[in-house]
Amino acid sequence: MPVLRSEGVFKVFGRRPNEAVRRLRAGSSFEDVKPLGTAAVIDATFDVEAGETFVVMGLSGSGKSTLIRMLNGLWRPTAGRITLGDADLSTISARDMRILRRKRVSMVFQHFALLPHRTIMDNAAYPLALQDVERSERRRRAGEALEMVGLGGWEDHLPSELSGGMRQRVGLARALVAGTDVLLMDEAFSALDPLIRREMQEQLLELQQTLGKTIVFITHDLNEAMHLGDRIAVMGDGRIVQIGTSEQILSEPANDYVAQFVADVDKTRVLTAGSVMVHPTAVVIRGAGPHGALREMREAQTSAAYLVEKDRTLLGVVRDTDVVAAQRAGAQTLIELTRDEVSPVHVDAPLMDIFAPSAETPLPVPVIDDRGRLVGGIPRVTLLEAMAPNDLPTNGTSDDTPSDAADSNGTAGEVAANPVDAPQDADADASIRATGAGR
């Protein structure tokens, strides 16, 4: 049962909104109905599940802010139905809407929207004051929320004394203190500078792990969308162009508009090991012995193989030279030849975490699941491909993509390490070919 549901929702601002909706339904475009009014949202249909972070992404003017304002009834849809739990927001009375806002849905604003004349404590406690919570209880809960966002000790200051990032933490604390299960975030981090923004994103993810709110997050920054969102809806000219996970949107953009966005994104941050891994080759089961291992390597044409248990739990890697030597010495088992020089990566690891392991091994980087079982491998060429620039020209819509992404998490260092390894890599390939030819 979805928490929020939008069914065929339209919002048209202008003189003849209903006529505009009729024509849009009949297939007219955003431009066609301009004389009748501005179609901010056209036929928006989606569900948001409990505990999900649903990101709505689009350029300014794409209708995303209007859409989020319909989710808490600040705007009424011109046509269509929005339901929050059991409540139908298109027909609800103003009084019931206010109660719903106090209990179910709170909001974080782009420019923080704090009350400048009230202290941080009073700002954070504002929703509780509206719920007529008693004063000492109010202060206790607001204090907790401020503590949670790392603003303990700032209670008696005024918003003007805080930096932008801190003010938005107050905005977040205010939204959390209300105790609602749905959190709407309207470009919540867009007004912050890139490093602070990254910090806030991490904090939100961290909080979300413990709180498990249903979040609808609006942004124009695809990196942010991919970083935070379980699912992403891409909006353009009032329509939802595509809804999907970040990987779906990256790998199968629905049209040129989405592809333009995708061209900007730092894929290594978004794509996970699981999405680029291939079926592992050169896998030797522990009981196979040196003979079996060599046969497997010959077939896969590699100089090493993964050694796994029967249930495919990864034990390590065996090298052809070690195995040949052991076979000559008459060994029957492989386990003592295992090298743990390759660090496996988890299936959910972002690509940027795979560069370092990749540099260590001639084999594809082994990918394991939660139980440590080998589920795939990532050849280095896949990583290099993911890093390569996209076919589409980058248009720089998102201002912070390259520098921010690299600086804040030290990706630059890892990327730079790769070319240095390249010659060595080529040697390894050559040696594989040489051994293959030798046989």
* Residues of this chain that bind another protein (CB under 8 A): 69, 72, 74, 98-102, 105-107, 109-111, 113-117, 126-127, 130-131, 158-163, 174, 178, 184
DSSP for 112-135, please give it. ----TTS-HHHHHHHHHHHTT--H
Give the integer Cα–Cα distance in Å for 235 and 233. Answer: 6
Q: Which is nearer to another protein, 159 or 366 (CB)?
A: 159
Q: For the chain, what's the residue count?
A: 439
Least distance to another protein, CB of residue 61, Å: 17
Least distance to another protein, CB of residue 232, Å: 23
Least distance to another protein, CB of residue 65, Å: 11
Q: Based on the number of CB atoms within 10 Å of its own CB, is 251 exposed (0-12), middle (13-18) or buried (19 or more)?
A: middle
**Long-range interactions of 391-397: CB distance < 8 A, separation 24+:** 392/259, 392/260, 392/262, 392/263, 393/263, 394/263, 394/264, 395/260, 395/263, 395/264, 396/264, 397/59, 397/220, 397/260, 397/261, 397/264
Least distance to another protein, CB of residue 199, Å: 17
Least distance to another protein, CB of residue 220, Å: 17
Q: Which is nearer to another protein, 220 or 267 (CB)?
A: 220
Q: Which is nearer to another protein, 101 or 197 (CB)?
A: 101
- Residue 311 carries which DSSP code? T
Tokens, residue 411: 């990706």
Q: Which is nearer to another protein, 179 or 316 (CB)?
A: 179
Q: Which is nearer to another protein, 130 or 426 (CB)?
A: 130
Q: Which is nearer to another protein, 163 or 343 (CB)?
A: 163
Q: What is the four-CA torsion angle of 166, 167, 171, 172, rounded to 10 degrees?
A: -10
Alpha helix locations (H) across 104-238?
Answer: 120-130, 135-148, 164-177, 194-211, 222-228
Query: Any residues with CB less than 8 A from the CB of 101 and at least 6 apart, and which?
Result: 72, 73
Q: Based on the number of CB atoms within 10 Å of its own CB, is 83 exposed (0-12), middle (13-18) or buried (19 or more)?
A: middle
Q: Which is nearer to another protein, 26 or 94 (CB)?
A: 94
Give the start-end residues of each E strand in 247-401.
Answer: 283-285, 304-308, 314-319, 345-346, 365-368, 374-378
Least distance to another protein, CB of residue 108, Å: 9
Least distance to another protein, CB of residue 94, Å: 9
Q: Which is nearer to another protein, 165 or 244 (CB)?
A: 165
Least distance to another protein, CB of residue 160, Å: 5
Least distance to another protein, CB of residue 117, Å: 4
Least distance to another protein, CB of residue 126, Å: 6
Sheet arrangement for strand 38-48: 87-88, 79-84, 4-13, 38-48, 239-244, 231-236, 53-57, 214-219, 182-186, 105-108
Q: Which is nearer to another protein, 69 or 169 (CB)?
A: 69
Q: Which is nearer to another protein, 85 or 379 (CB)?
A: 85
Give the integer Cα–Cα distance in Å for 94 and 73. Answer: 9
Q: Which residue has the tokens 């049209």?
A: 255
